[in-house]
Homo-oligomer: A and B are copies of this chain.
Amino acid sequence: MKTRITLKELAKLLNVSVSTVSKALNDSPEISPKTIERVKELAALHKYRPNPTAVNLKSSKSGTIGVLIPNIANSFFAKVLSGMEERAQREGLQLITYISNESHEREKQIAEMLTAGFVDGVLIAIAEETQRKKEFDHIKNIIQYDIPVVLYDRIDFDMPVDKVGINDRKVFYDATKDLQKKGLSKIGIATSIHHMGVGKARIEGYREALGDNHTFYLANSAKKESLKEKILKMLLEDKVEAVLGSDFDSTMLTYRLAYENNIRIPEDLKIIGFVRGGMAKYLTPSLSYVDQSPHKIGETAMEVLINRINRKNTGPKERITIATEVVHYESTQFPEKKLL
């Protein structure tokens, strides 16, 4: 077994003091160039690397960022994480990941851990259950310990922290307007996240676009069976011409139910949903989707956090919006316009 060599051992081998070795390795101007060279040479030979724990204790920094993820199986969050990791890596920061599984209890436990001093900063997407209960004390507690916090994706809360996410209202506002412009009027929404901030905002955008004197079609339920019924009603009774899917499950359920009931996409029904592009293009027919740029969200959230940790940004808390785009595939294809 190899062990990493310590400063002390290095000092003994060189017949100098530990302080000298430490300073030499850190290019202190106090140390003569020759000594610096000697020290660095031997250090390289033995592949010396400072013990990170000791450095952390001294500096009272951990070089570590805590990332709270509600649901990693959701590929949106997986991609956000990869954006964070990429940015963190350039800064030499480690990422400690915690998965709340949308549980309030677990999130509280994690928040408690985070105040213990493991991390220099925290990136959080709030769990579904926490949003429903509207209990954010555990998050505020982290802030009170002066640990920088950035909220990502799920940001519609009143909290004194930086926030990075998309403009959920605008996504469905624009999508609805666009469908109207193309001549559709019976437009519905399917959603299983209507009780969450982002889900509400999406519905609002849709409502706002349609205006007050319009009929709204809303299939909303967090329970699969009940959601299924409501979607079926919307498709078969209300006979909507288009559905906006607010999340993966509601989108795909609509897509599948149309198929089972011989409703042709896009001839009889247009669909736009929140699914990932890597999958949407393979579907039969391919599915138009909202590109949320998850990687960019992760990168940006990390960037904002780093600037807080370094005190490069000491201004008021910000809310940063990442641009989105609807990628149109077959499920929103309109027939060619005919010349008169």
Chain A residues proximal to chain B, CB less than 8 Å: 1-4, 49, 51-54, 56-57, 60, 62, 64, 72-73, 75, 77-79, 81-82, 85-86, 94-99, 101, 115-118, 144-146, 252-253, 255-256, 259, 278-279, 281-284, 286
**Copy number of this protein in the oligomer?**
2
**CB atoms of B57 and A53 under 8 A apart:** yes
Q: A73-B278, A259-B284 are in contact. Are A118 and B146 (CB under 8 A)?
A: no
**Chain B residue at minimal CB-CB distance from A1:** B146
Q: How far is the CB of A145 from chain B (nearest CB, A)?
A: 5
**CB atoms of B282 and A256 under 8 A apart:** yes
**CB atoms of B97 and A85 under 8 A apart:** yes
**Chain B residue at minimal CB-CB distance from A81:** B72
Contact of A117 among B4, B99, B116 (CB under 8 A): B4
A86 cross-chain contacts in B, Cβ below 8 A: 99
**CB atoms of A117 and B52 under 8 A apart:** yes
23 contacts between A and B (CB under 8 A): A1-B144, A4-B115, A4-B145, A51-B116, A51-B117, A53-B56, A53-B60, A53-B62, A53-B117, A72-B79, A72-B81, A75-B78, A81-B97, A82-B101, A86-B99, A94-B118, A95-B96, A96-B96, A252-B279, A255-B284, A256-B283, A279-B279, A283-B283
Q: How far is the CB of A322 from chain B (nearest CB, A)?
A: 18
A82 cross-chain contacts in B, Cβ below 8 A: 72-73, 99, 101
Contact of A284 among B56, B146, B284 (CB under 8 A): B284
A85 cross-chain contacts in B, Cβ below 8 A: 72, 97-99
**Chain B residue at minimal CB-CB distance from A96:** B94
Give 19 A-B pairs besides A1-B144, A51-B117, A256-B283 with Cβ atoms closer than 8 angstroms. A49-B115, A49-B117, A51-B116, A52-B116, A52-B117, A64-B96, A72-B78, A72-B81, A75-B78, A82-B99, A86-B99, A94-B118, A95-B96, A252-B279, A252-B282, A256-B284, A256-B286, A283-B283, A284-B284
Query: In the complex, A266 Cα to B49 Cα: how many Å?
Result: 59
Q: How far is the CB of A113 from chain B (nearest CB, A)?
A: 8
Residue of A60, A62, A75, A96 with most chain B CB atoms under a 10 A cut-off: A75
**CB atoms of B145 and A1 under 8 A apart:** yes
A51 cross-chain contacts in B, Cβ below 8 A: 57, 116-117
**Chain B residue at minimal CB-CB distance from A51:** B117
**CB atoms of B79 and A73 under 8 A apart:** yes
A115 cross-chain contacts in B, Cβ below 8 A: 4, 49
**CB atoms of B282 and A255 under 8 A apart:** yes
Query: In the complex, A255 Cα to B283 Cα: how many Å?
Result: 8
Query: In the complex, A72 Cα to B96 Cα: how many Å?
Result: 15
Query: In the complex, A53 Cα to B146 Cα: how many Å?
Result: 18
A81 cross-chain contacts in B, Cβ below 8 A: 72, 97, 99
A72 cross-chain contacts in B, Cβ below 8 A: 78-79, 81-82, 85
**Chain B residue at minimal CB-CB distance from A62:** B53
Q: A57-B54, A117-B51 are in contact. Are A146 and B62 (CB under 8 A)?
A: no
A282 cross-chain contacts in B, Cβ below 8 A: 252-253, 255-256
**Chain B residue at minimal CB-CB distance from A64:** B96
**CB atoms of B3 and A145 under 8 A apart:** yes
Q: How far is the CB of A80 from chain B (nearest CB, A)?
A: 10
